[in-house]
A and B are shown apart, each in its own frame.
Chain A
Amino acid sequence: MNKLDNFFGKNRFMAHVYYGDPDKEFSHRLIKQMIDSGIDILELGIPFSDPQVDGETFQKACIRALAGKTTPIDVLKSIGKIRKYNENIPIVITTYYNVILQYGIEKFVNELKQRNVQGIIVPDIVLEEAGDLIKSCEENEVYFIFIITPYTNEERMKKILSIAKGFVYLMRTSNVTGAEVVDNLTKQKIEQIKSIKNIPVMTGFGISDTKISKKMIGYGSDGVIIGSAIAKIYEKYIKDDKITDEEKCLNEVSDFIISIRDVL
């Protein structure tokens, strides 16, 4: 039994943080604050040296975390500490593929299981290359979370959905043709996914406020994924790679999370 099973009766809020930005101690206080303020799923990111698909905010987060010598092992270890203050929240690990590959696919996924992690998101892999990883995930009951994009056609979607578990990550936008077109595409995709399989859809990418969050829920999304909007709040408080005025900073993060929580 995976914590993500039967988890979606109400709309959910998944929050993404890169662990170690700007340092490990702050990450723990930030994560605790986010959980206490009402996030439903923690997406814990492993800082990477070449975060290809991340925007500027997360690129900087990775640079800061790596400058502080945060390693994938630190991130894995941090899960135990997080579990000490919260046993129940589903945790999803996000990492670029080479980190898993160098660590050893089986060893990595097995560690996730040992540490009570429910899912894994790999932003730079497609189904066709993920065979070994998906197999390890199945053996360890860690859900491999698939990403579906506005460009994923129906045939491919069916292929992905036939093995998808937990929830699917719908990438909201590609900014191409203006907000309205993006919204329509997102709405269409949610309907299309739901018509193929009864699986929760979490929508993410470029979701920064209550207005967009509300809209996504209106389109039938089972929740939202928010990442860089949170990093944007705390990075304002970073000076010389340290958080200043931490109490104020965490309160601001809290207020933001509560405001999103309220519209879901």
Chain B
Amino acid sequence: MKSLGKFGKFGGMFVPEILYTALEELEEAFIKFKDDENFNKEFQYYLKNFAGRETPLYFAKNLSKKLGFKLYLKREDLVHGGSHKLNNTIGQALLAKKMGKKHFITETAAGQQGVATVMAGNAFGLKTKVFMGLKDTKRQTLNAERIKLLGGEVIPVTRGHQVLKDAVDEALVEWIVNNETSHYVIGSAVGPHPYPTIVRHFQSIIGKEIKSQIMESEGKLPNKIIACGSGGSNALGAFYEFIDDEEVELIFVEGGGKNAVDEKHAAAFFKGSPGVFQGAMTYMLQDEFGMDSKTESRATGLNYPARGPELSYLKDKGRMKTEYATDEEVLVAFQIMSKEEGILPAFETSHAIAYLLKLEGKLDKDEIVVLNFSGRGDKDVQSAINLLDIKV
């Protein structure tokens, strides 16, 4: 390996020896191609023509009026497939092709990562296997079915608590067994090196676009950027370009579950501590013996006990503020965004919105806030209908 992928004390490569060779091969390919002109040309081509980039930076005038400051939404929900996830899966599909791989393996919770992986896999002729916790296949049926319709294979995971972290383990085992022909597409900025760096690299297009778009419309940088997350693929994607712009406040919102004060939540920054989980040293929810805690969140995609290692680094460095939103706040935010702006947000994205709403009346009217609108809410419509008991 050229590096161990450390972000301060976080990150690294805590994996079984059997994965070393595969990770080394991946790092080598990534280093070789990330600045390669032809590779990037092809990447840009697919981002534009397949994913539909660039995505708009939309001035949300109704909410701006209500909240008392200028709100812009970075419309990642408009990326093909309905979330930012495709940015990374296209990049990794290109890498996989260069490495001569024939198959894609991935895991998914909300299903967005699964959908985005199958889409990119299909575009590049890679067969895709998607590991999904059995419980998640039931909570996110629409996406599980979409994956199947697209020709992907959904493998319901019955180990552990049948959620995201269990799907990650199963996907890893599959990769161990088939790593010569398969590429494991991690969709979030988690896991062992080089994954957190690769995912952030391919997602950093979000922040680059935000910067040029806001400079064009406002002629200055935003005061705040808000993003939801757990591993941090959309948050780091939006933040990375601004890390050296100290005047831009970066705010990360995690899953507060029913109530982050008691045990039922996924707020690893609020209640967790550094530990080694699924390949990296990072903030995680754990007990005194290092056993990861069971998590809960209304947003399936945030229901994970650890944060990405680079996020952990940014938090400890004081560069990124961390917040959480509760399930109830999220449901309210979902409705307000839908009604005010006519855009249905994913429950994950609704976490960022829930925090945004707390800023009402607290900022100057000329202050600019960018919210990374990471995904659309279609997948959560049925849950929202049930929760709100909506009848026609």
Residues of chain A touching chain B, judged by Cβ–Cβ distance below 8 Å, are 48-50, 52-53, 55-56, 59, 63, 66, 71-73, 96-99, 101-103, 123-126, 128-129, 146-153, 156, 171, 174-176
Contact = CB atoms under 8 A, between A and B. Distances in A.
B17 A149 contact: yes
B261 interface: no
A52 B16 contact: yes
B386 to A, nearest CB: 30
Contacts of B17: 126, 146-149, 152, 171
B185 interface: no
**Residue of B278, B290, B292 with most chain A CB atoms under a 10 A cut-off:** B290
Contacts, number: 101
Nearest to B165: A50
Nearest to B275: A98
Contact of A149 (B18, B165, B173, B291): B18
Given A102-B275, A147-B17, A153-B21, 14 more contacts: A49-B292, A50-B292, A53-B176, A56-B159, A59-B159, A72-B289, A72-B290, A73-B289, A123-B16, A126-B16, A147-B16, A149-B17, A152-B17, A176-B178
A97 B1 CA distance: 21
Contact of B291 (A48, A55, A123, A128): A48
Nearest to B288: A102
Interface of B: 1, 4, 12-18, 20-22, 159-160, 165, 169, 172-173, 176-180, 275-279, 286, 288-292
Given A126-B17, A151-B20, A174 B177 contact: yes
Contacts of B12: 129
Given A50-B292, A152-B17, A129 B4 contact: yes
B126 to A, nearest CB: 18
A73 B289 CA distance: 9
Given A147-B17, A153-B21, A50 B4 contact: no
Contacts of A151: 18, 20-22, 179
**Residue of A52, A71, A150 with most chain B CB atoms under a 10 A cut-off:** A52
Contacts of A53: 16, 18, 172-173, 176
Contacts of A123: 16
A50 B16 CA distance: 13
A191 to B, nearest CB: 19
Given A59-B159, A59-B160, A152-B20, A128 B278 contact: no
A152 B16 CA distance: 12
Contacts of B278: 50, 52
B6 to A, nearest CB: 10
B7 to A, nearest CB: 14
Contacts of A55: 173
A171 B14 contact: no
A53 B19 CA distance: 11
A98 B288 contact: no
B177 A176 contact: yes
B290 to A, nearest CB: 4
Contacts of B15: 124-126
Nearest to A175: B177
